[in-house]
Amino acid sequence: MSTGLSSALQRFPRYALLDGPTPIQRLTGLEAALGAAANGVRLYVKRDDHMSLGGGGNKLRKLEFLLGDARQQGADTVVTVGGLQSNHARLTAAAAARAGMACELVLGRVVPRSDVDYEENGNMLLNRLLGAVVHDLPVGADAMAAALERVRALELSGRRVYLAPLGGSTPTGALGYAACALEILEQSRVLGVDFSRIVVANGSAGTHAGLAAGMIAAGLPAAKVQSFTTLADAAVAHTKTVDLTAATLTLLGQGEGVATYAPPAPGDIQVDGSQRGPAYGVPTPAMVEAVQCLARSEGLLLDPVYSGKAFAGLLADVRAGCHAPGSDVLFVMTGGAPGLYAYRTAFRAR
Ligand SMILES: Cc1ncc(COP(=O)(O)O)c(C=O)c1O
């Protein structure tokens, strides 16, 4: 089944941005720090923060397929949208720089902050360093409408523009995580470990949807993947993830002589809403504890907006005994550590 997925993926144009598979590492330091609270669960991380380009992170996997598509269409400029501290925006700027394309970022005020850390540090600092033109929209502006206007202006000036979606989360972008599912399955075969759960943050849903689509295409249950939503509430994130998984499977099944795949049963798409907190981008005590816990037990850096909240969810579930003793659980570290510099005050004096 996974051979079918591998050849289905090869039919799509892809622009290489990774240096090969990212490592899977066991968190023995964390297990020791948790002690009895680990409840006999073995914890691992898939280091999707461990990539050489632009600080790394999950968006590079999506951008491999999005830029493949953009280059096939002859684009010379990529435009994308996001919040001010978007990791997707930063990595689009890095990928465009690598591909020799111009990049414009249309960034809105999703999080109600106007302090210097948020506006100038973290991803914003790196966006400009990477040569992107940054459009910093006022509060209340519609980022997609502004981006479409900018695309029209650039096209009128003779540019060939590719508009990358919010978070890279279209079926084409999600192919990057279908490919990652395959990578995880191959690594788990080599390690001799059968992960009972693969845990990840959910923002625009493409990472979860891609992993779930990859599992289904490989003949495995989508319910192996569990996400913690950080952006939408659980019901909205669930619907979006179900729909995007189905659309990614449809895309994978297009073409002559290719296997087709049934959409996921909604109950197999596991989205947990317990860690989002009051709103997207607003720190929670559990996120701060999770970021500190992994930093101090393993020397690994989570981000405060996505993976910090998802890891808090994993820790809560492990402590509550939700994973069977002796099971192997994989957390996908999705990058975003530059965001820590925009959240300095959340971690001050702790
Ligand atoms: C660091 C990080 N982790 C996780 C996510 C969530 O990924 P997705 O948008 O595919 O749900 C994002 C999205 O921006 C991110 O930047």
Phi then psi for residue 218, to 5 deg, are -90, 5
Q: Which residues of 63-96 are buried (b: 16+ CB within 10 A; e: fewer)?
A: bbbbbbbbbeeebbbbbbbbbbbbbbbbbbbbbb
Contacts of 109 (CB under 8 A, 6+ apart): 83, 84, 137, 138, 139, 140, 141
Atom of ligand 1 nearest to the CA of 207: 10
d(CA 281, CA 233): 13
d(CA 171, CA 66): 10
Let me know if 86 is a catalytic residue. Answer: yes
Q: What is the DSSP letter of 197?
A: E
Helix/strand/coil for 120: helix
Phi then psi for residue 279, to 5 deg, are -170, 165
In the set 86, 169, 204, 307, the catalytic residue is 86
Q: How far is the CA of 158 from the centre of ligand 1 (A)?
A: 33
Residue 202 pLDDT: 98
Residue pair 271/208 in contact by the 8 Å Cβ criterion: yes
Average pLDDT by consecutive 10-residue portion of the chain (350 residues)? 85 97 98 98 98 98 98 98 97 98 97 95 98 96 97 98 97 98 98 98 98 97 98 98 98 88 97 98 98 98 98 98 98 98 88
Which residue's alpha carbon is nearest to atom 1 within ligand 1? 336
Residue pair 217/5 in contact by the 8 Å Cβ criterion: yes
Residue 157 pLDDT: 98
Residue 172 pLDDT: 98
Atom of ligand 1 nearest to the CA of 205: 11
Q: Nearest CA to 271 among 188, 343, 203?
A: 203
Atom of ligand 1 nearest to the CA of 62: 10
Which residue's alpha carbon is nearest to atom 6 within ligand 1? 203
Q: How far is the CA of 177 from the centre of ligand 1 (A)?
A: 12
Residue 1 pLDDT: 58
Contacts of 7 (CB under 8 A, 6+ apart): none
Q: How far is the CA of 58 from the centre of ligand 1 (A)?
A: 7
Ligand 1 neighbours, Cβ below 6 Å, are: 57-58, 87-88, 167, 169, 201-207, 303, 306-307, 334-336
Contacts of 43 (CB under 8 A, 6+ apart): 26, 27, 30, 31, 314, 318, 329, 331
Residue 348 pLDDT: 85
Give the strand pairing for 24-26 and 42-47: antiparallel
Q: What is the pLDDT of residues 187-246, one digit of tens each?
A: 999 999 999 999 999 999 999 999 999 999 999 999 999 999 999 999 999 999 999 999
Q: What is the DSSP letter of 203?
A: S
User: Could you tell me which residues are beta bridge partners of residue 42?
Assistant: 328
User: Among the residues of 192-329, which ranges form H helices?
Assistant: 206-217, 234-252, 285-298, 307-319
Helix/strand/coil for 25: strand
Residue pair 9/64 in contact by the 8 Å Cβ criterion: no
Q: Residue 179: enclosing H or E segment and its boundaries?
A: helix 171-191
Q: How far is the CA of 306 from the centre of ligand 1 (A)?
A: 6
Residue pair 339/85 in contact by the 8 Å Cβ criterion: yes
User: Could you tell me which residues are beta bridge partners of residue 201?
Assistant: 228
Q: How far is the CA of 36 from the centre of ligand 1 (A)?
A: 31
Residue pair 51/22 in contact by the 8 Å Cβ criterion: yes
Indicate the top mutation candidate among 48, 49, 59, 61 to test ligand 1's pocket, ranked by most ligand atoms within 8 A of CB.
Answer: 59
Residue pair 60/89 in contact by the 8 Å Cβ criterion: no
Indicate the top mutation candidate among 87, 306, 311 to test ligand 1's pocket, ranked by most ligand atoms within 8 A of CB.
Answer: 306
Residue 317 pLDDT: 98
Q: What is the pLDDT of residues 107-148, one digit of tens each?
A: 999 999 999 999 999 999 999 999 999 999 999 999 999 999
Q: Nearest CA to 65 among 123, 18, 1?
A: 18
The rounded percent of the chain whose pLDDT value lies above 90 is: 97
Residue 22 pLDDT: 98
Q: Nearest CA to 142 among 118, 169, 114, 106?
A: 106
Residue 3 pLDDT: 73
**How many CB atoms neighbour CB 315 within 10 A?**
22
Residue 350 pLDDT: 62
Domains and CATH numbers, the chain: 2-56+169-347 (3.40.50.1100), 59-168 (3.40.50.1100)
Tallying the residues shown for the chain, one arrives at: 350
